[in-house]
């Protein structure tokens, strides 16, 4: 294990965080992995209320996922996500209570992680489906060479040229459709925590800078670089140089807490300190599983991997109540495993038991 509260197995896998949720209208190639009221109202934003699911105990099945109000969450809800498929399966099996729990995930816009086999087809399929629904696609690019330091999500493109070719496919697929991109989870924090060997640093900075520039060259694309979380790179000042060398000046901002469980409040405090050091850049926070905060044990390096007792966090929204926080997003796909730990399947694999636990625990969660 590397660092404290590592994210990588939670942010991706060789199987994919988005596996099984093929892009409508596109080639269903394998994927790799796979809120916002005013700050004073965040604690009261219950997922059960915004999911549209019935939970009155009368055995009623939830409705099919629909799009969230655009003024609150303009991101696309995939009606064929793994969570939505699970809801359908529970319905066929007359498991209405389980269906209503997983509906709390299926009803929300969750990021789509672009795989390696058909980046153009996947990016086109997701963005086209989002545009047809008058919504914005939320994509994660996670294919940097030497990814994840040999752990659960190890891999990535074979070299810089392979990465550039893959990225070009993504760019063509996105085109001029409105899209928010979370760029390469772990890539910069793993430079700073010395997990990524020194000989790969210059190439990584060059690839990230190119990616930011090309993505921002598209008509309607926003880009956020990953900057870790407050319990990984604890001093935000350590992320300043990596972000600058990776092109933060041209990006829209940075992302925090990807696939982790740190509270929204801690991430906000950390993000504001970091923002002040990088020209006032805005940031987004992954709230997908931080409803109960991190697992007990402080900075135990195993706490990132399928911790029990966690909960869904604040639902995705652009109404954060803070002008520097652009959105609370579900970047990690709730219900997908962090890796083969604590009884979990391989990283990125759908795990219905964990999905139900996250949803069930959300009722009593403080949500950051």
338 is catalytic: yes
DSSP helix/strand/coil, 33: coil
In this structure, the chain runs to a length of 368
Cα radius of gyration (the chain):
18
Cα–Cα distances in angstroms (integers) from residue 258 to residues 49, 90, 219, 244, 286, in the given order: 25, 29, 26, 20, 5
Token pair of 346, please?
A: 């391989």
Residues 6+ apart with CB under 8 A from 287: 35, 257, 264, 313, 314, 315, 316, 328, 329, 330, 367, 368
Token pair of 197, please?
A: 């060997």
**Edge-to-edge strand list for the sheet holding 282-286:** 112-113, 137-141, 179-183, 221-226, 253-256, 282-286, 325-329
148 is catalytic: yes
Which residue(s) pair with 317 in the sheet? 328
Residues 6+ apart with CB under 8 A from 4: 231, 232, 234, 299, 301
C-alpha span between 37 and 342 (Å, rounded): 34
| Catalytic annotation, pick one of 98, 118, 186, 326 | 186
Token pair of 61, please?
A: 């099945």
Cα–Cα distances in angstroms (integers) from residue 335 to residues 35, 44, 240, in the given order: 18, 23, 32
The sign one gets for the Cα dihedral 153, 232, 222, 158 is negative
Q: Are 116 and 62 in contact (CB under 8 A)?
A: no
C-alpha span between 275 and 281 (Å, rounded): 5
Token pair of 316, please?
A: 């995705």
| Catalytic annotation, pick one of 118, 226, 252, 338 | 338
CA end-to-end distance (rounded Å), the chain: 26
| Catalytic annotation, pick one of 148, 193, 226, 286 | 148
Q: Are 84 and 308 in contact (CB under 8 A)?
A: no
55 is catalytic: no
Q: Which residues are catalytic?
A: 148, 186, 338
């Amino acid at each position: 294990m590397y660092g404290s509260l590592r994210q990588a197995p939670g942010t991706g896998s060789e199987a994919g965080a988005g596996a099984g949720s093929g892009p409508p209208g596109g080639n269903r190639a394998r994927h790799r992995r796979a809120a916002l009221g005013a700050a004073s109202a965040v604690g009261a934003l219950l997922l059960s209320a915004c999911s549209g699911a019935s939970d009155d105990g009368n055995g009623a099945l939830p409705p099919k996922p629909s799009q969230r109000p655009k003024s609150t969450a303009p991101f696309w809800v995939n009606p064929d996500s793994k969570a939505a498929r699970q809801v359908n399966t529970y319905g066929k099996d007359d498991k209405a209570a389980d269906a209503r729990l997983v509906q709390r995930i299926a009803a929300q816009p969750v990021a789509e992680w672009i795989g390696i086999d058909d980046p153009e087809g996947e990016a086109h399929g997701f963005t086209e489906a989002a545009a047809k629904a008058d919504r914005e696609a939320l994509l994660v690019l996670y294919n940097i060479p030497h990814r994840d330091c040999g752990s659960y999500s190890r891999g990535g493109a074979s070299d810089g040229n392979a990465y550039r070719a893959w990225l070009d496919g993504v760019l063509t697929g996105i085109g001029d459709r409105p899209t928010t991109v979370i760029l390469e989870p772990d890539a910069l924090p793993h430079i700073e925590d010395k997990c990524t060997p020194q000989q790969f640093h210059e190439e990584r900075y060059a690839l990230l800078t190119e990616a930011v520039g090309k993505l921002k060259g598209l008509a309607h694309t926003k880009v956020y670089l990953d900057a870790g979380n407050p319990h990984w790179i604890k001093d935000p000042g350590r992320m300043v140089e990596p972000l600058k060398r990776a092109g933060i000046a041209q990006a829209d901002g940075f992302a925090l807490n990807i696939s982790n469980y740190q509270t929204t409040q801690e991430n906000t405090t950390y993000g504001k300190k970091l923002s002040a050091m990088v020209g006032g850049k805005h940031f987004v926070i992954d709230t997908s599983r931080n409803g109960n905060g991190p697992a007990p044990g402080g900075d135990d390096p195993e706490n990132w991997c399928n911790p029990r007792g966690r909960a869904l966090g604040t639902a995705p929204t652009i109404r954060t109540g803070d002008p520097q926080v652009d959105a609370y997003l579900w970047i990690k796909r709730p219900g997908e495993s962090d890796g083969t730990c604590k009884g979990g399947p391989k990283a990125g694999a759908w795990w219905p038991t964990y999905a139900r636990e996250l949803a069930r625990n959300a009722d009593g969660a403080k949500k950051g």
